[in-house]
Structure 1
Amino acid sequence: MALTIEKAQQILDDYYDLTHTKYEDDISLIHALEFLIQETKNPEYMVELGGWYYEQRQFDLAEEYYLMAASLEYVDAYECLGYIYYYGRVGQPDYKKAFYYYKLASDKGNLVASYKLADMYKNGYYVSKDYSKYVEIMKSLYPMIQGATNTFDPVPEIYSRLAKIYVEEGNEDQAIQLLLIAKEFQSQRLIYSQFFGDLTIMKYIVNDLYSLIQFDPNYMDLFDLYYALQKPCKVAIEILGDDHIIEAKYEDGLFYICMDDKNYEDVDQFFLHAKVNEEPISTQYVNVNYIEILD
Protein backbone atom coordinates (compact mmCIF):
# COMPACT_ATOMS: atom_id res chain seq x y z
CA MET A 1 0.00 0.00 0.00
CA ALA A 2 1.48 3.30 -1.12
CA LEU A 3 2.00 5.83 1.64
CA THR A 4 0.44 9.26 1.59
CA ILE A 5 1.12 12.10 3.99
CA GLU A 6 -2.21 11.46 5.69
CA LYS A 7 -1.53 7.73 6.08
CA ALA A 8 1.97 8.37 7.39
CA GLN A 9 0.65 10.83 9.97
CA GLN A 10 -1.95 8.26 11.02
CA ILE A 11 0.80 5.69 11.54
CA LEU A 12 2.49 8.16 13.90
CA ASP A 13 -0.74 8.76 15.82
CA ASP A 14 -1.42 5.02 16.12
CA TYR A 15 2.14 4.31 17.25
CA TYR A 16 2.02 6.81 20.10
CA ASP A 17 -1.29 5.35 21.28
CA LEU A 18 0.33 1.93 21.79
CA THR A 19 1.14 0.85 25.33
CA HIS A 20 3.70 -1.68 24.14
CA THR A 21 5.37 -1.54 20.75
CA LYS A 22 6.68 -4.44 18.70
CA TYR A 23 9.51 -4.54 16.20
CA GLU A 24 7.12 -4.16 13.28
CA ASP A 25 5.54 -1.11 14.95
CA ASP A 26 8.97 0.51 15.21
CA ILE A 27 9.72 -0.23 11.56
CA SER A 28 6.39 1.30 10.51
CA LEU A 29 7.16 4.42 12.53
CA ILE A 30 10.61 4.78 10.97
CA HIS A 31 9.27 4.34 7.44
CA ALA A 32 6.45 6.82 8.08
CA LEU A 33 8.83 9.46 9.43
CA GLU A 34 11.32 8.92 6.61
CA PHE A 35 8.47 9.35 4.12
CA LEU A 36 7.22 12.53 5.82
CA ILE A 37 10.74 13.96 5.89
CA GLN A 38 11.20 13.27 2.20
CA GLU A 39 7.80 14.63 1.20
CA THR A 40 7.47 17.66 3.49
CA LYS A 41 11.07 18.61 4.41
CA ASN A 42 9.56 19.51 7.79
CA PRO A 43 12.32 19.69 10.45
CA GLU A 44 9.86 18.63 13.17
CA TYR A 45 9.79 15.15 11.64
CA MET A 46 13.59 15.12 11.44
CA VAL A 47 13.90 15.90 15.14
CA GLU A 48 11.15 13.40 15.94
CA LEU A 49 13.02 10.60 14.17
CA GLY A 50 16.31 11.75 15.66
CA GLY A 51 14.69 11.68 19.09
CA TRP A 52 13.44 8.14 18.55
CA TYR A 53 16.94 7.01 17.62
CA TYR A 54 18.36 8.87 20.63
CA GLU A 55 16.06 7.00 23.01
CA GLN A 56 17.16 3.76 21.35
CA ARG A 57 20.76 4.91 21.97
CA GLN A 58 21.49 4.88 18.25
CA PHE A 59 23.25 8.20 18.59
CA ASP A 60 24.92 8.31 15.16
CA LEU A 61 21.51 8.21 13.49
CA ALA A 62 20.10 10.71 15.98
CA GLU A 63 22.91 13.12 15.13
CA GLU A 64 22.27 12.69 11.41
CA TYR A 65 18.64 13.76 11.66
CA TYR A 66 19.34 16.54 14.16
CA LEU A 67 21.94 18.00 11.79
CA MET A 68 19.44 17.77 8.95
CA ALA A 69 16.93 19.80 10.96
CA ALA A 70 19.59 22.23 12.18
CA SER A 71 20.49 23.01 8.57
CA LEU A 72 16.94 24.38 8.32
CA GLU A 73 17.55 26.56 11.42
CA TYR A 74 15.16 24.56 13.59
CA VAL A 75 15.74 25.61 17.19
CA ASP A 76 14.90 22.28 18.86
CA ALA A 77 17.56 20.64 16.70
CA TYR A 78 20.18 23.01 18.13
CA GLU A 79 19.22 21.90 21.64
CA CYS A 80 19.38 18.22 20.68
CA LEU A 81 22.79 18.59 19.07
CA GLY A 82 23.98 20.32 22.22
CA TYR A 83 23.10 17.15 24.13
CA ILE A 84 24.80 14.94 21.56
CA TYR A 85 28.10 16.78 21.91
CA TYR A 86 27.89 17.70 25.62
CA TYR A 87 27.54 14.07 26.65
CA GLY A 88 29.84 12.66 23.97
CA ARG A 89 27.14 10.49 22.44
CA VAL A 90 29.10 10.07 19.20
CA GLY A 91 32.58 9.94 20.70
CA GLN A 92 34.28 12.09 23.31
CA PRO A 93 32.45 15.14 24.69
CA ASP A 94 32.93 18.10 22.38
CA TYR A 95 32.20 21.11 24.57
CA LYS A 96 33.03 23.59 21.83
CA LYS A 97 30.28 22.18 19.61
CA ALA A 98 27.94 21.78 22.58
CA PHE A 99 28.39 25.42 23.55
CA TYR A 100 27.86 26.52 19.96
CA TYR A 101 24.53 24.73 19.59
CA TYR A 102 23.28 25.50 23.10
CA LYS A 103 24.05 29.18 22.48
CA LEU A 104 22.16 29.15 19.18
CA ALA A 105 19.11 27.63 20.87
CA SER A 106 19.36 29.79 23.99
CA ASP A 107 19.47 32.95 21.90
CA LYS A 108 16.15 31.83 20.41
CA GLY A 109 14.57 31.41 23.86
CA ASN A 110 15.04 27.66 24.33
CA LEU A 111 14.92 27.10 28.11
CA VAL A 112 16.60 23.70 28.10
CA ALA A 113 19.56 25.01 26.13
CA SER A 114 19.72 27.99 28.47
CA TYR A 115 20.13 25.97 31.66
CA LYS A 116 22.63 23.67 29.93
CA LEU A 117 24.57 26.74 28.82
CA ALA A 118 24.52 27.88 32.45
CA ASP A 119 25.92 24.49 33.47
CA MET A 120 28.84 25.03 31.11
CA TYR A 121 29.71 28.30 32.84
CA LYS A 122 29.39 26.59 36.23
CA ASN A 123 31.64 23.67 35.26
CA GLY A 124 34.08 25.56 33.04
CA TYR A 125 33.33 23.47 29.97
CA TYR A 126 34.79 25.24 26.91
CA VAL A 127 34.36 28.59 28.71
CA SER A 128 36.14 29.75 31.86
CA LYS A 129 34.38 28.87 35.10
CA ASP A 130 32.03 31.69 36.02
CA TYR A 131 29.67 30.83 38.86
CA SER A 132 28.15 34.30 38.95
CA LYS A 133 27.23 33.90 35.26
CA TYR A 134 25.66 30.53 36.08
CA VAL A 135 23.54 32.10 38.83
CA GLU A 136 22.61 35.02 36.60
CA ILE A 137 21.36 32.74 33.82
CA MET A 138 19.47 30.42 36.18
CA LYS A 139 17.70 33.29 37.94
CA SER A 140 16.77 34.82 34.59
CA LEU A 141 14.93 31.59 33.71
CA TYR A 142 12.68 31.61 36.77
CA PRO A 143 10.10 34.13 35.47
CA MET A 144 10.06 32.31 32.13
CA ILE A 145 9.21 28.92 33.67
CA GLN A 146 7.12 30.07 36.64
CA GLY A 147 3.54 28.92 36.24
CA ALA A 148 4.38 26.29 33.62
CA THR A 149 1.83 23.49 33.38
CA ASN A 150 3.18 21.21 30.65
CA THR A 151 4.58 18.02 32.17
CA PHE A 152 7.56 18.14 29.83
CA ASP A 153 8.52 21.75 30.47
CA PRO A 154 11.98 21.82 32.13
CA VAL A 155 10.58 22.76 35.54
CA PRO A 156 12.37 19.99 37.49
CA GLU A 157 15.73 20.76 35.88
CA ILE A 158 15.51 24.52 36.43
CA TYR A 159 13.90 24.45 39.88
CA SER A 160 16.33 21.86 41.26
CA ARG A 161 19.26 24.03 40.16
CA LEU A 162 17.67 27.17 41.58
CA ALA A 163 17.01 25.35 44.86
CA LYS A 164 20.74 24.75 45.33
CA ILE A 165 21.40 28.43 44.67
CA TYR A 166 18.79 29.49 47.23
CA VAL A 167 20.25 27.12 49.83
CA GLU A 168 23.65 28.74 49.32
CA GLU A 169 22.01 32.13 49.78
CA GLY A 170 20.35 31.01 53.01
CA ASN A 171 16.81 30.86 51.61
CA GLU A 172 15.97 27.26 52.44
CA ASP A 173 12.20 27.82 52.51
CA GLN A 174 12.21 28.94 48.88
CA ALA A 175 14.46 26.02 47.97
CA ILE A 176 12.06 23.55 49.61
CA GLN A 177 9.08 24.97 47.74
CA LEU A 178 10.91 24.70 44.42
CA LEU A 179 11.97 21.12 45.11
CA LEU A 180 8.42 20.10 46.03
CA ILE A 181 7.13 21.52 42.75
CA ALA A 182 10.00 19.90 40.84
CA LYS A 183 9.25 16.54 42.46
CA GLU A 184 5.57 16.66 41.48
CA PHE A 185 6.40 17.64 37.89
CA GLN A 186 8.95 14.85 37.61
CA SER A 187 6.52 12.32 39.12
CA GLN A 188 3.97 13.18 36.43
CA ARG A 189 6.61 13.09 33.69
CA LEU A 190 7.69 9.59 34.66
CA ILE A 191 4.17 8.28 34.11
CA TYR A 192 4.68 8.92 30.41
CA SER A 193 8.43 8.97 29.89
CA GLN A 194 10.85 6.06 29.94
CA PHE A 195 13.75 8.30 28.94
CA PHE A 196 16.86 6.99 30.67
CA GLY A 197 17.80 10.31 32.28
CA ASP A 198 14.52 11.11 34.01
CA LEU A 199 14.93 8.72 36.95
CA THR A 200 18.33 10.22 37.74
CA ILE A 201 16.75 13.68 37.95
CA MET A 202 14.13 12.34 40.36
CA LYS A 203 16.76 10.74 42.59
CA TYR A 204 18.65 14.03 42.90
CA ILE A 205 15.46 15.97 43.65
CA VAL A 206 14.42 13.54 46.40
CA ASN A 207 17.87 13.48 48.00
CA ASP A 208 18.14 17.27 47.90
CA LEU A 209 14.66 17.67 49.38
CA TYR A 210 15.32 15.39 52.34
CA SER A 211 18.61 17.09 53.05
CA LEU A 212 16.47 20.14 53.89
CA ILE A 213 13.38 18.66 55.55
CA GLN A 214 12.68 15.72 57.84
CA PHE A 215 11.46 12.64 56.00
CA ASP A 216 7.97 11.76 57.24
CA PRO A 217 6.99 8.15 56.44
CA ASN A 218 3.34 9.03 57.09
CA TYR A 219 3.28 11.27 54.02
CA MET A 220 5.42 9.39 51.54
CA ASP A 221 4.74 8.69 47.89
CA LEU A 222 6.21 6.26 45.37
CA PHE A 223 9.37 8.22 44.66
CA ASP A 224 10.16 8.75 48.33
CA LEU A 225 11.36 5.16 48.05
CA TYR A 226 14.52 6.70 46.60
CA TYR A 227 15.18 7.92 50.13
CA ALA A 228 13.61 5.13 52.19
CA LEU A 229 15.26 2.22 50.38
CA GLN A 230 18.78 3.51 50.89
CA LYS A 231 18.85 1.65 54.21
CA PRO A 232 17.21 -1.53 55.52
CA CYS A 233 13.43 -1.30 55.76
CA LYS A 234 10.24 -3.10 54.75
CA VAL A 235 7.57 -1.28 52.77
CA ALA A 236 3.99 -2.31 52.03
CA ILE A 237 2.55 -0.84 48.87
CA GLU A 238 -0.75 -1.31 47.07
CA ILE A 239 -0.85 -0.60 43.35
CA LEU A 240 -4.09 -0.98 41.42
CA GLY A 241 -5.51 -3.14 44.20
CA ASP A 242 -2.56 -5.55 44.40
CA ASP A 243 -0.41 -5.73 47.53
CA HIS A 244 3.37 -5.89 47.34
CA ILE A 245 6.16 -5.98 49.89
CA ILE A 246 9.41 -4.19 49.11
CA GLU A 247 12.32 -4.96 51.39
CA ALA A 248 15.76 -3.40 51.52
CA LYS A 249 18.15 -5.56 53.53
CA TYR A 250 21.62 -6.91 54.08
CA GLU A 251 22.32 -10.58 53.57
CA ASP A 252 25.79 -12.13 53.78
CA GLY A 253 27.21 -8.63 53.88
CA LEU A 254 25.49 -7.56 50.65
CA PHE A 255 22.78 -4.92 50.43
CA TYR A 256 19.91 -5.49 48.02
CA ILE A 257 16.23 -4.74 47.46
CA CYS A 258 13.61 -7.38 46.76
CA MET A 259 10.01 -7.26 45.55
CA ASP A 260 7.82 -10.07 44.22
CA ASP A 261 10.69 -12.59 44.49
CA LYS A 262 13.01 -10.46 42.37
CA ASN A 263 16.19 -8.86 43.65
CA TYR A 264 17.79 -5.54 42.74
CA GLU A 265 21.28 -4.46 43.76
CA ASP A 266 20.26 -0.91 44.73
CA VAL A 267 17.45 1.62 44.50
CA ASP A 268 18.57 2.77 41.05
CA GLN A 269 18.24 -0.75 39.66
CA PHE A 270 14.92 -1.15 41.45
CA PHE A 271 13.37 1.85 39.73
CA LEU A 272 14.94 0.94 36.40
CA HIS A 273 13.79 -2.67 36.30
CA ALA A 274 11.00 -3.42 38.80
CA LYS A 275 7.60 -3.98 37.21
CA VAL A 276 4.01 -4.27 38.37
CA ASN A 277 1.64 -6.08 36.00
CA GLU A 278 4.34 -5.87 33.31
CA GLU A 279 4.52 -2.07 33.64
CA PRO A 280 7.58 -0.25 35.04
CA ILE A 281 7.00 0.69 38.65
CA SER A 282 8.19 4.21 37.82
CA THR A 283 5.01 4.72 35.76
CA GLN A 284 2.69 3.81 38.64
CA TYR A 285 2.78 7.07 40.62
CA VAL A 286 -0.95 7.82 40.32
CA ASN A 287 -1.92 4.15 40.78
CA VAL A 288 -0.51 3.80 44.30
CA ASN A 289 -3.43 3.35 46.72
CA TYR A 290 -1.27 3.33 49.82
CA ILE A 291 2.34 3.02 50.84
CA GLU A 292 3.63 2.38 54.35
CA ILE A 293 6.90 1.58 56.06
CA LEU A 294 6.28 -1.44 58.28
CA ASP A 295 7.68 -1.71 61.79
Structure 2
Amino acid sequence: MYLNEGAKAYQSRDYQTAIKLYQKSADMGNIIALSNLGYCYYYGRSIPVDKEKAKKCWEKAAILGDIAAVYKLGDMYRNGDLPQNLDFSHALYKRAFNMAVQCSENYYVAPDAFLRMLKYYPDDISDKGYSKIEIALSCITGIKKRIAEEDNYSEKALKEAKAILLRLIDD
Protein backbone atom coordinates (compact mmCIF):
# COMPACT_ATOMS: atom_id res chain seq x y z
CA MET A 1 0.00 0.00 0.00
CA TYR A 2 2.73 2.50 0.98
CA LEU A 3 4.70 1.70 -2.18
CA ASN A 4 1.75 2.35 -4.49
CA GLU A 5 0.77 5.54 -2.70
CA GLY A 6 4.40 6.65 -2.77
CA ALA A 7 4.53 6.02 -6.51
CA LYS A 8 1.40 8.10 -7.04
CA ALA A 9 2.89 10.93 -5.01
CA TYR A 10 6.15 10.69 -6.95
CA GLN A 11 4.36 10.85 -10.32
CA SER A 12 2.48 13.90 -9.02
CA ARG A 13 5.84 15.40 -8.07
CA ASP A 14 4.90 15.41 -4.37
CA TYR A 15 8.33 14.07 -3.47
CA GLN A 16 8.15 14.77 0.26
CA THR A 17 5.11 12.53 0.56
CA ALA A 18 6.66 9.95 -1.76
CA ILE A 19 9.80 9.77 0.36
CA LYS A 20 7.84 9.27 3.58
CA LEU A 21 5.74 6.51 2.01
CA TYR A 22 8.71 4.82 0.34
CA GLN A 23 10.58 4.88 3.66
CA LYS A 24 7.63 3.25 5.47
CA SER A 25 7.41 0.59 2.78
CA ALA A 26 11.18 0.03 2.76
CA ASP A 27 11.15 -0.30 6.55
CA MET A 28 8.60 -3.07 6.07
CA GLY A 29 11.00 -4.88 3.71
CA ASN A 30 9.82 -3.72 0.30
CA ILE A 31 12.87 -3.71 -2.00
CA ILE A 32 11.16 -1.67 -4.73
CA ALA A 33 10.47 1.10 -2.22
CA LEU A 34 14.12 0.93 -1.14
CA SER A 35 15.20 1.26 -4.77
CA ASN A 36 12.79 4.17 -5.28
CA LEU A 37 14.32 5.91 -2.26
CA GLY A 38 17.61 5.62 -4.10
CA TYR A 39 16.11 7.60 -6.98
CA CYS A 40 14.94 10.29 -4.58
CA TYR A 41 18.42 10.64 -3.08
CA TYR A 42 20.16 10.46 -6.44
CA TYR A 43 18.06 13.13 -8.11
CA GLY A 44 17.47 15.23 -4.98
CA ARG A 45 13.70 14.93 -5.02
CA SER A 46 12.79 17.49 -2.30
CA ILE A 47 15.91 16.49 -0.40
CA PRO A 48 19.57 17.32 -1.01
CA VAL A 49 21.26 15.15 -3.63
CA ASP A 50 23.07 12.40 -1.74
CA LYS A 51 24.65 9.90 -4.10
CA GLU A 52 26.19 7.94 -1.23
CA LYS A 53 22.71 7.31 0.24
CA ALA A 54 21.41 6.46 -3.24
CA LYS A 55 24.24 3.96 -3.64
CA LYS A 56 23.48 2.36 -0.27
CA CYS A 57 19.78 2.02 -1.12
CA TRP A 58 20.57 0.53 -4.51
CA GLU A 59 23.20 -1.85 -3.16
CA LYS A 60 20.75 -3.28 -0.63
CA ALA A 61 17.96 -3.50 -3.19
CA ALA A 62 20.29 -5.05 -5.81
CA ILE A 63 21.39 -7.75 -3.39
CA LEU A 64 17.74 -8.56 -2.83
CA GLY A 65 17.06 -8.80 -6.58
CA ASP A 66 15.75 -5.41 -7.71
CA ILE A 67 16.54 -4.95 -11.41
CA ALA A 68 16.39 -1.15 -11.35
CA ALA A 69 18.86 -1.01 -8.48
CA VAL A 70 21.29 -3.20 -10.43
CA TYR A 71 21.29 -1.03 -13.55
CA LYS A 72 21.32 2.23 -11.56
CA LEU A 73 24.50 1.05 -9.81
CA GLY A 74 25.83 0.31 -13.30
CA ASP A 75 25.02 3.89 -14.25
CA MET A 76 26.88 5.21 -11.22
CA TYR A 77 30.01 3.27 -12.17
CA ARG A 78 29.68 4.17 -15.85
CA ASN A 79 29.01 7.88 -15.37
CA GLY A 80 31.61 8.50 -12.68
CA ASP A 81 29.31 9.04 -9.69
CA LEU A 82 31.49 6.34 -8.16
CA PRO A 83 35.06 5.69 -9.24
CA GLN A 84 34.51 4.98 -12.92
CA ASN A 85 34.73 1.28 -13.67
CA LEU A 86 33.35 0.34 -17.07
CA ASP A 87 33.99 -3.37 -16.55
CA PHE A 88 31.93 -3.37 -13.37
CA SER A 89 29.26 -1.25 -15.03
CA HIS A 90 29.15 -3.71 -17.92
CA ALA A 91 28.78 -6.65 -15.52
CA LEU A 92 25.92 -4.89 -13.70
CA TYR A 93 24.14 -4.09 -16.97
CA LYS A 94 24.48 -7.72 -18.07
CA ARG A 95 23.11 -8.89 -14.73
CA ALA A 96 20.15 -6.50 -15.00
CA PHE A 97 19.53 -7.59 -18.59
CA ASN A 98 19.53 -11.28 -17.64
CA MET A 99 17.14 -10.58 -14.78
CA ALA A 100 14.89 -8.51 -17.07
CA VAL A 101 14.71 -11.22 -19.72
CA GLN A 102 13.24 -13.48 -17.04
CA CYS A 103 10.47 -10.98 -16.31
CA SER A 104 10.22 -8.98 -19.54
CA GLU A 105 6.51 -8.38 -18.87
CA ASN A 106 7.56 -6.05 -16.04
CA TYR A 107 7.45 -2.89 -18.10
CA TYR A 108 8.46 -0.70 -15.18
CA VAL A 109 12.04 -1.96 -15.15
CA ALA A 110 12.76 -4.44 -17.96
CA PRO A 111 12.79 -1.81 -20.74
CA ASP A 112 15.41 0.26 -18.92
CA ALA A 113 17.67 -2.77 -18.47
CA PHE A 114 17.20 -3.57 -22.17
CA LEU A 115 17.89 0.02 -23.18
CA ARG A 116 21.25 0.11 -21.41
CA MET A 117 22.41 -3.04 -23.18
CA LEU A 118 21.14 -1.74 -26.50
CA LYS A 119 23.02 1.54 -25.99
CA TYR A 120 26.30 0.29 -24.63
CA TYR A 121 26.73 -3.44 -25.31
CA PRO A 122 24.41 -4.48 -28.15
CA ASP A 123 26.69 -7.31 -29.28
CA ASP A 124 26.22 -9.00 -25.90
CA ILE A 125 22.52 -9.30 -26.73
CA SER A 126 23.26 -11.28 -29.89
CA ASP A 127 25.92 -13.33 -28.11
CA LYS A 128 23.25 -14.47 -25.67
CA GLY A 129 21.06 -15.61 -28.58
CA TYR A 130 18.57 -12.75 -28.50
CA SER A 131 17.57 -10.54 -31.39
CA LYS A 132 18.59 -6.92 -30.87
CA ILE A 133 15.55 -5.80 -32.87
CA GLU A 134 13.17 -7.91 -30.76
CA ILE A 135 14.73 -6.57 -27.57
CA ALA A 136 14.40 -3.00 -28.90
CA LEU A 137 10.74 -3.60 -29.81
CA SER A 138 10.07 -5.06 -26.36
CA CYS A 139 11.78 -2.03 -24.83
CA ILE A 140 9.63 0.41 -26.81
CA THR A 141 6.42 -1.50 -26.08
CA GLY A 142 7.12 -1.50 -22.35
CA ILE A 143 7.99 2.18 -22.24
CA LYS A 144 4.81 3.03 -24.15
CA LYS A 145 2.78 1.10 -21.56
CA ARG A 146 4.35 3.16 -18.79
CA ILE A 147 3.57 6.37 -20.63
CA ALA A 148 -0.02 5.23 -21.18
CA GLU A 149 -0.27 4.87 -17.40
CA GLU A 150 0.84 8.50 -17.07
CA ASP A 151 4.48 7.89 -16.23
CA ASN A 152 6.03 11.34 -16.39
CA TYR A 153 9.64 10.18 -16.70
CA SER A 154 9.76 7.90 -19.75
CA GLU A 155 9.63 10.17 -22.80
CA LYS A 156 13.43 10.48 -23.05
CA ALA A 157 13.87 6.71 -22.79
CA LEU A 158 11.27 6.19 -25.51
CA LYS A 159 13.10 8.55 -27.87
CA GLU A 160 16.38 6.75 -27.21
CA ALA A 161 14.83 3.33 -27.77
CA LYS A 162 13.20 4.42 -31.04
CA ALA A 163 16.48 5.89 -32.30
CA ILE A 164 18.29 2.64 -31.49
CA LEU A 165 15.61 0.58 -33.24
CA LEU A 166 15.90 2.74 -36.37
CA ARG A 167 19.67 2.37 -36.31
CA LEU A 168 19.35 -1.41 -35.97
CA ILE A 169 16.91 -1.56 -38.87
CA ASP A 170 19.26 0.54 -41.03
CA ASP A 171 22.15 -1.80 -40.26
| TM-score class normalised by the smaller sequence | 0.7 to 0.9
The residue that corresponds to 2:87 in the other structure is 132
TM-aligned CA deviation for residue 53 of structure 1: 1.1
Superposition RMSD in Å = 2.5
Letter matched to residue 143 of structure 1:
N
The residue that corresponds to 2:109 in the other structure is 154
Structure 1: which 4+ aligned runs deviate by more than 4 Å?
171-174
The residue that corresponds to 2:139 in the other structure is 182
TM-aligned CA deviation for residue 102 of structure 1: 0.6
Q: Is the Cα–Cα contact under 8 Å of residues 97 and 110 in structure 2 kept in the other structure? A: no
Q: What is the TM-score of this pair, normalised by structure 1? A: 0.52
TM-aligned CA deviation for residue 91 of structure 1: 3.5
> Are residue 109 (structure 1) and residue 65 (structure 2) matched?
yes
TM-aligned CA deviation for residue 46 of structure 1: 1.6
TM-aligned CA deviation for residue 110 of structure 1: 0.7
> Are residue 55 (structure 1) and residue 14 (structure 2) matched?
no
Name which one, 1 or 2, has greater alpha-carbon Rg: 1
Three-state SS of the structure 2 residue aligned to 1:135 is: helix
Write the distance in 1 (CA, Å) between the matches of 2:109 and 2:150: 16
Identity %: 25
The residue that corresponds to 1:67 in the other structure is 23
Write the distance in 1 (CA, Å) between the matches of 2:102 and 2:162: 21
TM-aligned CA deviation for residue 149 of structure 1: 4.7
Q: Is the Cα–Cα contact under 8 Å of residues 163 and 176 in structure 1 kept in the other structure? A: no
TM-aligned CA deviation for residue 207 of structure 1: 1.5
Three-state SS of the structure 2 residue aligned to 1:121 is: helix
The residue that corresponds to 2:77 in the other structure is 121
TM-aligned CA deviation for residue 174 of structure 1: 4.5
Residues 81-128 of structure 1, C-alpha deviations (whole Å, 9 max, x = no match): 001011111244210110010111111001111111111111121x20
Letter matched to residue 89 of structure 1:
R
TM-aligned CA deviation for residue 208 of structure 1: 2.0
Across the two proteins, how many residue pairs are aligned to each other? 169
Q: Which runs of 5+ in 2 are unaligned?
A: none
**Alignment counterpart, residue 38 of structure 2, candidates 82, 92, 96:** 82
**Map of 1:194-273 to 2, 5 A cutoff?**
194-214=150-170
Q: What is the TM-score of this pair, normalised by structure 2? A: 0.86
Three-state SS of the structure 1 residue aligned to 2:105 is: coil
Letter matched to residue 87 of structure 2:
S
Write the distance in 2 (CA, Å) between the matches of 1:139 and 1:179: 16
Higher relative contact order (CA 8 A, sep 6+): 2
TM-aligned CA deviation for residue 72 of structure 1: 2.6
Q: Which runs of 5+ in 1 are unaligned?
A: 1-44, 216-295
Task: Pick the structure with more strand per residue.
Answer: 1
